[in-house]
Chains A and B, each alone.
Chain A
Amino acid sequence: MDPNDLRKIANRIRRRDLQAVFEAGAGHIGGEMSVTDLLTALYFHVLNVNPVAPLDPGRDRLILSKGHAALALYVTLAEKGFIGKEEISTFLQPHSRLNGHPNRTKVPGVETNTGPLGHGLPVAVGIARAAQLDQARWRTFVITGDGEMQEGSNWEAIMAAAQFQLDNLTLIIDHNRLQQGARLADTNNLAPLAPRLAAFGWAVEEIDGHDMAQICRALTPGAISPGRPKCVVAHTNKGQGISFMQDNVAWHHKVPDESQYRQALIELEEAAV
């Protein structure tokens, strides 16, 4: 799909996400805005997935390891047709299957239940190993947050992926430089991420995580390095697209009031044109 069309879809997803956070009175809007372009490019350009057959054994797999951004995933899955668009209005409502973190047993298109950080990458290593055993061509993608890379389980998986030579695995780090309580740099600074992954034997590429053309290029099969797992360090902004949220640690899971909501919506609508 053309990068321009992808941008339009991403804008639509951001607006629906914003509205759902406002109506539910909860969500993780900062990290949802930072990951939206990545999810859009994956679901509408990269992944071989079919909403009619969500468990097709030959499908590509995507794991959103930063499960607290579930709403962005739900809206993307609804755009793609895995769930109904009207269902987004049930987000966080009693008995809704759209709770604060994704559940594969309830929501088609979800591959594993995430929420506790540092879980998605080990599972992705297992999925990629299964494909490797079967010499299957489908690919496995996992998106982590940058703060999430502080979890030791990720580094266990990073070692294993290199040892197993999983070139069918791509880790995308949503590098927005902010974690829940503070900047990464002021907490437990892992940056620069690229040389650390490279030191573990991964092929690493750094991109602008809001540039659709760059995202698509980095995730094409042609960008695979034979015998090495791939890490895409996607430089992003928390709250991307909404000026007063952008790169602001206060907006990890803050909920906009009425006037903030109106302003944010106006900004996103202007960007849509």
Chain B
Amino acid sequence: MNAPVNLSALYDCRDAFTQTLETLAAQDGRIVAVCNDSVGSSKLGGFRDKWPQRLINVGIAEQNMVGVGAGLANGGKVPFVCAAACFLTGRALEQIKADIAYSDANVKLCGISSGMAYGELGPTHHSTEDFAWVRAIPNIAVIAPCDRIETAAAVRFAAAHTGPVFLRLSRVGVPDLLPEAHVFELGRANTLRDGTDLTLIANGVLSHRAMLAAEQLAEQGISARVLNMATVRPIDEQTIIQAARETGAILTCEEHTIYGGLGSAVAEVVVDHHPVPMVRLGVPGVFPPTGSANFLLDEFGMSPVDIAASAAGLIKRKHQGG
């Protein structure tokens, strides 16, 4: 713990996703992949070559894609439904609600290139509302892994778990944060770094930025705890309450609008159980300008140095009594 983040090797988590899926599919004939003409962007080419019959490409038709996933589950399959996160969630939200969650279909929804991963393609292709949309629906797990190791672990979890899962995956390169032997536990955050002055909570492509911010804060004599909170629903209440009690201030950062996502989920727990000063970093309720994902994260105050500055300001508020 507290080892510096190694930025020399960055990984596209889609590779871990498909490698794990193929490993599992080789062992379990019930696993099928469903997609919307997204074989390339979902990195399902290898799956298709190995099991052409088990790759079900419905064409550009997301509502049907999600319904077909529910039907395959009814027929005894374990479908991984893969599409760009923006289209999977926005286009087929009612199917996710009625066919998957309410019907308790054993379907794994895999939102690829989530958040602002499509960067310059613009807000039509960004998926910065999906935490809010999907976590508002009962009976579906919402998971955003932070690195290739957690991605692989989350895919293994999803395959073994009976019930609806939404995996929110990115294509933006991220460094390793978790140990290779990491086992994913639903609704359980990981302490990436311990600290006492405040807690930084992040997931997905923000977790390593939070870690870099904590390293900078340490140089300023501030001890920041960093929690990687991949599961947004069900949220890890105990770990959040403990962080509020022990560090007295919480900063969240996410590749998502600040309305309804990780920060909101954390704030709900904090308000209900142990109110402390908070800052919620994310997309501030606007359609982002043109730029790459990493540029936009910096633009919205989530460079490590800006996260550290927000954290320092939060600590001042904490000492002033909120």
Q: Which of B61, B67, B94 has the most CB of A within 10 A?
A: B67
Other-chain residue from A114, A122, A160 in contact with B66 (beta carbon distance below 8 A): A122
Interface of B is mostly: helix
Q: B58 near A: Cβ within 8 Å? A: yes
Contact call B63/A122, Cβ cutoff below 8 A: yes
Contact call A111/B61, Cβ cutoff below 8 A: no
Select from chain B the residue with minimum beta-carbon distance to A115.
Answer: B98
Q: A11 near B: Cβ within 8 Å? A: no
Interface size class for chain B?
Answer: 20 to 34
Name which of A36-44, A150-158, A189-197 contacts chain B: A150-158
Contact call B68/A123, Cβ cutoff below 8 A: yes
Q: B76 near A: Cβ within 8 Å? A: yes
Binary contact track A86-122/B, C-beta < 8 Å → 1, others 0: 0000000000000000011100000111111011011
Known A119-B98, A127-B75: A157·B64 in contact at CB below 8 Å: yes
Q: How far is the CA of A127 from the CA of B71 in the complex (A)?
A: 4
Contact call A129/B63, Cβ cutoff below 8 A: no
Name which of B9-17, B102-110, B225-233 contacts chain A: B102-110
Contact call B69/A119, Cβ cutoff below 8 A: no
Known A122-B95, A129-B56: A156·B63 in contact at CB below 8 Å: yes
Contact call A126/B98, Cβ cutoff below 8 A: no
Q: A125 near B: Cβ within 8 Å? A: yes
B residues 23-76 touching A (CB-CB < 8 Å): 32, 53-54, 56, 58-59, 61, 63-76
Q: Closest CB of chain A to B190's CB: distance in Å?
A: 32
Select from chain B the residue with minimum beta-carbon distance to A124.
Answer: B71
Residues on the B chain within 8 Å of A134, using CB: 75-76
Cβ-closest 6 pairs across A and B: A126-B71, A130-B75, A122-B67, A156-B64, A156-B61, A126-B68
A-B contact pairs, 6 of them (CB 8 A): A105-B102, A105-B103, A122-B99, A152-B63, A159-B64, A160-B68
